[in-house]
Amino acid sequence: MTAPTARTDAARAVIPSAPLLEHPRFAGSSQLADVMSGATVLGAGSRGDGLLAVQGALLAMGFALYGGADGRYGPDTARALRNFQVHAGLRSSGVLDAATLRALEALAPAPGSRGQSRALPSPFYAGQKVRVVIALREHRTFLFDPLGQLVDIFPNAVGTAATPTHPGLKVVRAKLDQVATEDAGARLWNDRHVFGARLLDLSWADGHRSGEEMHGTSAPALLGGDVSHGCIRHANEDILVLHDALAVGDRIAVVETLQDPHLGVPVTVG
């Protein structure tokens, strides 16, 4: 074996070591090690164990990924990554690059857990306690208990550019059960299933009608996008949780991003 020379030692000194993946969701994946080092990005045509781990983290953080984690990059994975990049303040490219992976390392929950470890919204809007924060551009709904502790994060779909969901402070005006929700769908859209399993009618905090509702959906593949007529859609299993947790009069904060100045100081956990 040839002994190292001064030249080879100097060369080694200027070659930076690849950043280590420390999060237990991602550590040990050679695919993600290559991403973290900047050697590659994961986009169209990518598949593998690292991408599967990233998909699992995005699902656990409440980002929409229709069909679940399968280790293959497709349009749903691209949309989930774009929504996460909005949350993390990154360029919304929809591909997994080193910056996006670093943000996931910092924010993803432990294996087997849901939510995220820090950078959560405050349960206060303009000084008033809220039960829900809806982040329009990252397509997530944050549910808090009456004491202000995070319960869960759910994916949502919101209004199109032509029929936007309007930000501001709203309140639950009425709660519709399954029968009333189906009746409303039949009356308004000639489709008993269009509003899914439950509907929460929202008004502005001053009592004026907002024309917006939180409800379920008959099109879960569209969650994570801007597709509605202004309402906030959720998966049917999620709207059941929200319907049961909320009461008439509870406040709902609707913001474009979690950097909205009306929100209180972000909550960090862990």
Going residue by residue through the chain, which has 270 residues, state the pLDDT in tens, using 9 for 90 and above: 444 444 434 433 443 455 689 999 999 999 999 999 999 999 999 999 999 999 999 999 999 999 899 999 999 999 999 999 999 999 999 999 999 999 999 999 999 999 987 889 999 999 999 999 999 999 999 999 999 999 999 999 999 999 999 999 999 999 999 999 999 999 999 999 999 999 999 999 999 999 999 999 999 999 999 999 999 999 999 999 999 999 999 999 999 999 999 998 777 654
Reduced DSSP (H G I as helix, E B as strand, rest coil) percent helix, strand, coil of the chain, to 5? 30, 25, 50
Under 8 Å between Cβ of 267 and 121: yes
pLDDT for 3? 47
pLDDT for 19? 63
| Residues tagged active-site | 215, 231
pLDDT for 264? 84
The one-letter code for the residue type at 239 is I
* Domains of the chain (ranges, CATH numbers): 30-107 (1.10.101.10), 124-255 (2.40.440.10)
pLDDT for 12? 39
How distant is the alpha carbon of residue 96 from its chain centre? 16
238 membership: H or E segment, kind and range: helix 236-245
pLDDT for 269? 57
| DSSP one-letter code for 145 | -
Residues 6+ apart with CB under 8 A from 142: 62, 120, 121, 132, 133, 134, 135, 150, 153
How distant is the alpha carbon of residue 107 from its chain centre? 12
The reported pTM is 0.90
* Residue 244 phi, psi dihedral angles, 5° rounding: -70, -30
Under 8 Å between Cβ of 101 and 108: no
Q: Which residue has the tokens 């690849």?
A: 18
pLDDT for 270? 47
Q: Which residue has the tokens 């060369």?
A: 11
Under 8 Å between Cβ of 142 and 150: yes
Burial of 53 (0-12, 13-18, 19+ CB in 10 A): buried
